[in-house]
Amino acid sequence: MKKLDHVDKQILQILQEDGRIPYTEIAQQLRVSEGTIRARITQLLQDGVFQFVIHPDPEKLGLHVQAIIGLTTKLGSQKYVAEELSKFSAVRFVGSFSGKHDLILQACFHSNDELITFVNERLSQIEGIVAADVSLELKQYKDSFSFVQDDDVTLQ
């Protein structure tokens, strides 16, 4: 994969604002041909730089309880536990971290009862989990997938 240049970053910034924007409009904004935009986006997708996703609002889907759960795992069990957690549809994110918790996951539930069932009946069945620290999200201030940072990028 080649290093991203200024044009690639500009394309990504535009798509982050509106993933449905026509390639012709991106080309006009960046003053390049539509073919250039099409080729660049195709290459960025093939290189795995980004993917087109739908990011629904859990609250609007009836998932009123969002939790961050920090897990302590038995030595040697981290990968197995992470793979098992990834199988649950309620789990949105699983990551390995340094610090207090070996794994941290984000999960969404319809109710507190559903969260309690998940912790007491699902997590307790996964071999290798030593402890779980459950935190409920009280208010969300930001939820974004915007990672492109190029201070030199100014769109016309």
Other CB atoms within 10 Å distance of the CB of residue 114: 16
Decide the pairing of beta strands 129-136 and 65-73: antiparallel
Q: Are 48 and 77 part of one and the same domain?
A: no
Q: Are 82 and 132 part of one and the same domain?
A: yes
CA dihedral 154, 9, 145, 17 (to 10 degrees): 50
Where residue 36 sits, what CATH number does that domain have?
1.10.10.10
Give 92-123 pLDDT, tens digit per residue. 999 999 999 999 999 999 999 999 999 999 99
Q: Are 48 and 109 part of one and the same domain?
A: no
- Write the burial class of residue 109 (CB in 10 Å: 0-12 exposed, 13-18 middle, 19+ buried): buried
Q: Are 64 and 131 part of one and the same domain?
A: yes
- pLDDT of residue 126 exceeding 90, the answer is yes
Instruction: Specify the amino acid at residue 155.
Output: L
Is 144 among the domain residues? no
**Structural domain count, the chain:** 2
Q: What is the pTM of this model?
A: 0.76
Q: Are 101 and 132 part of one and the same domain?
A: yes
Both tokens assigned to 130: 């030593």
Is 47 among the domain residues? yes
Per DSSP, the chain holds a count of helices (H) and strands (E) of: 5, 4
Is 147 among the domain residues? no
Q: Are 105 and 70 part of one and the same domain?
A: yes
Q: Are 35 and 63 part of one and the same domain?
A: no
Q: Are 47 and 103 part of one and the same domain?
A: no
Q: Are 11 and 77 part of one and the same domain?
A: no
Task: Kindly provide the residue ranges of all beta strands, DSSP E only, lying in 11-125, ordered along the sequence.
Answer: 65-73, 91-96, 103-109
Q: Are 32 and 83 part of one and the same domain?
A: no
- pLDDT of residue 89 exceeding 70, the answer is yes
Q: Give the range of the structural domain holding residue 103, as residue numbers without chain letter.
A: 58-136
User: What average pLDDT does the chain have?
Assistant: 91
Annotate 66-99 with DSSP letters as a single string.
Answer: EEEEEEEE-TT-HHHHHHHHTT-TTEEEEEE-SS
Q: Are 42 and 63 part of one and the same domain?
A: no
Please state, for a pLDDT cut of 70, what percent of the chain lies above it: 93
